[in-house]
């Protein structure tokens, strides 16, 4: 501290410049912030995350504590006040539940299921794809054939079939989402791994007689990360949308875990009688959540795309 304060401003500027080392992460951050719309997307996504994480603190009421609900408050229009005096900014549903609170809790469920399934799928898909790309031969052929077949069917259909076989329930939905998604990761990482495998650093690692696992996960995997990160952002959006679709159809998460999709579906019954907000606002929340992820994903793809790198 004393040393720094004894420096002239110019010297300090030089010193600071030397301390600033351009790490890959920093370069990524500066490239990413080139796009304002992507920054907006990121801000929106972070806002959604904080809403979800701090829902119990931020929400006006606990929508699933039945003792706080009052049936007299049911189907209030946006802006009317509850019997407790609070204002229901987004209206209430058929049970007198404040929609704003319901959406915040719904976000919590949608996000956690979406992110969790995307991450599990990442681990499984990346490992399988890495092994297929590195090993090649018949193992690669078999794995990629399965991936191709799976990718030729729409995700919703595969999800529905799996749920039809497994039955409903939170962990079963996650299993279904993982089963739908792993193939995207596997395909992506395999194509990168095939390219990377040819490079000399892998040959060097093998010449050092390193174990296969070490070569795969310590040397090959980190170099496949950029393409993987791109897929993750897009897939989280996909899995949130897919879960919402399934829940909307009534075969997704159980009633005790009302995600955004379930909220929209619940409100759908009331829509015919004109209470549009019960379905509309959860829909807007879902829309913005998916949109923000797509904006972030697009920019991440542009920044990490090796073909566009300057």
Partner 1 sequence: MKALGLDRPIWDQYIIFLTNALQGDVGRSFVFNTPAIDLILLRLPATLELAITALILANVLGIPLGLYAGLKPESVAGRSVMAGSILGFSLPGFWVKVSLIMLFAVELDWLPAGGRGETATFLGITSSLFTVDGLRHIILPATGLSLFTMALVIRLTSAGVRETLPMDFIKFARAKGLRESRVISVHVLKNILIPIVTVVGLEFGGLVAFTVITESIFSWPGMGKLLIDSINFLDRPVIVAYIVLVATMFIGINLVVDLVYAVLDPRVRLSDAGGAGT
Taking phi first (over 0 means left), then psi (-120 to 50 degrees means alpha), and beta for anything else, what does residue 250 get?
left
> How far, in Å, CA of 17 to CA of 9, rounded?
12
Residue closer to partner 1, measured from CB, 124 or 161: 161
Nearer to partner 1 (CB atom), residue 49 or residue 291: 291
DSSP 63-75: TT-GGG--GGGTT
Q: Which is nearer to partner 1, 226 or 252 (CB)?
A: 252
Q: Which is nearer to partner 1, 143 or 237 (CB)?
A: 237
Enumerate binding residues for partner 1 (CB under 8 A).
Answer: 152-154, 156-157, 160-161, 163-165, 167, 237, 241, 244-245, 248-251, 261, 264, 268, 271-272, 274, 276, 279-280, 283, 286-287, 290-291, 294
Q: In whole angstroms, how close is the CB of 164 to partner 1 at the nearest point?
A: 4
Give min distance, CB of 219 to partner 1, in A: 36
Which 3 state secondary structure label does DSSP give 99?
Answer: helix
| HEC profile of 143-203 | HHHHHHHHHCCCHHHHHHHHHHHHCCCHHHHHHHHHHHHHHHHHHHHHHHHHHHHCCHHHH
Specify whether the CB–CB gap between 220 and 196 falls below 8 A.
yes
For residue 216 the two structure tokens come to 């795969």
User: Smallest distance, Å, CB 304 to partner 1?
Assistant: 20
Q: Which is nearer to partner 1, 97 or 238 (CB)?
A: 238
Report, in Å, the least distance between residue 287 CB and partner 1.
6
Strand partners, 98: 92
Nearer to partner 1, 120 or 251 (CB): 251
CB of 262 vs partner 1, minimal distance in Å: 12
* 141: its two tokens: 């052929």
Q: From the CB of 62, what's the least distance to partner 1, in Å? A: 26
């Amino acid at each position: 501290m004393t040393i720094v304060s004894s420096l002239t401003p110019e010297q300090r500027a030089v010193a600071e410049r030397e301390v600033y080392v351009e790490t890959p992460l920093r370069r990524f951050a500066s490239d990413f912030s080139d796009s304002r719309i992507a920054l907006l997307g990121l801000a929106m996504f972070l806002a959604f995350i904080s809403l979800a994480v701090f829902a119990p603190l931020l929400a006006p009421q606990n929508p699933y504590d039945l003792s706080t609900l009052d049936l007299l408050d049911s189907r209030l229009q946006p802006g009317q006040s509850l019997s407790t005096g609070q204002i229901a900014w987004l209206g209430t549903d058929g049970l007198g539940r404040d929609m704003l609170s319901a959406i915040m809790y719904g976000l919590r469920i949608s996000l956690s299921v979406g992110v969790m399934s995307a991450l599990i799928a990442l681990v499984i898909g990346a490992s399988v794809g890495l092994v297929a790309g590195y090993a090649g031969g018949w193992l690669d052929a078999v794995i990629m054939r399965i991936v191709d077949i799976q990718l030729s069917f729409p995700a919703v259909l595969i999800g529905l079939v799996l749920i039809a076989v497994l039955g409903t329930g939170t962990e079963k939905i996650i299993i279904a989402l993982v089963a739908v998604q792993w193939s995207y990761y596997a395909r992506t990482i395999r194509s990168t791994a095939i390219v990377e495998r040819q490079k000399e650093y892998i040959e060097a690692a093998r010449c050092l007689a390193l174990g296969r696992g070490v070569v795969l996960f310590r040397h090959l995997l980190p170099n496949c990360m950029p393409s993987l990160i791109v897929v993750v952002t897009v897939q989280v959006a996909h899995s949130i949308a897919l879960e919402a679709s399934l829940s909307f159809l009534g075969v997704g998460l159980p009633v005790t875990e009302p995600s955004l999709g379930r909220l929209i579906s619940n409100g759908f019954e009331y829509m015919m009688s004109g209470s549009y907000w019960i379905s509309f606002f959860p829909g807007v929340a879902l829309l913005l959540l998916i949109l923000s992820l797509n904006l972030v994903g697009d920019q991440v793809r542009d920044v990490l795309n090796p073909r566009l790198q300057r």
